Homo-oligomer: A and B are copies of this chain.
């Protein structure tokens, strides 16, 4: 489950908000990860399956890296593990001999479905924990933070 424990370096009041924020995010992430636990998937793995499923076709690894917003070497390793799990297969691309395509196996499709169901449940539970009003104010705060 790989908890990603938060450090809360500083104490003071206003600045502490930043670490509360990060700490809350870790808690949420841990909750999602825990929800996926029975499926044997992680968020990282499920994301790859989801990209493959929504594309409805095999995708080049660099494509996956772009969608995942991560470096290519990370995808190489993720796909290594997914392949070992039997959820994904590597295939050569017809047009470009540099390219390697990843495609879902039947087991991968099933894992994807199961994982997305578990994830959706967990997401709903978390969102429900925020009363309607707070959800929108959170959304404002969020956009202020990311800008």
Question: What is the interface of chain A, defined by CB distance below 8 A to chain B?
Answer: 3, 5-10, 14-15, 17-18, 20-29, 32, 43-44, 46-47, 50, 68-70, 116, 119-120, 123-124, 126-127, 129-131, 134-135, 137-142, 144-147
Query: Given A43-B7, A69-B6, A119-B10: A141 and B130 within 8 A (CB)?
Result: yes
What are 13 pairs between A and B in contact, CB < 8 Å? Answer: A7-B46, A9-B46, A9-B47, A9-B116, A10-B116, A15-B124, A17-B130, A22-B25, A24-B25, A27-B146, A130-B145, A134-B140, A137-B138
Copies of this chain, complex-wide, total 2
The answer to whether B68 touches A9, judged by C-beta atoms less than 8 angstroms apart, is: no
A51 to B20, CA, bound (A): 18
A139 to B145: give the CA distance in the assembly, Å: 13
A141 to B135 Cα, complex, angstroms: 7
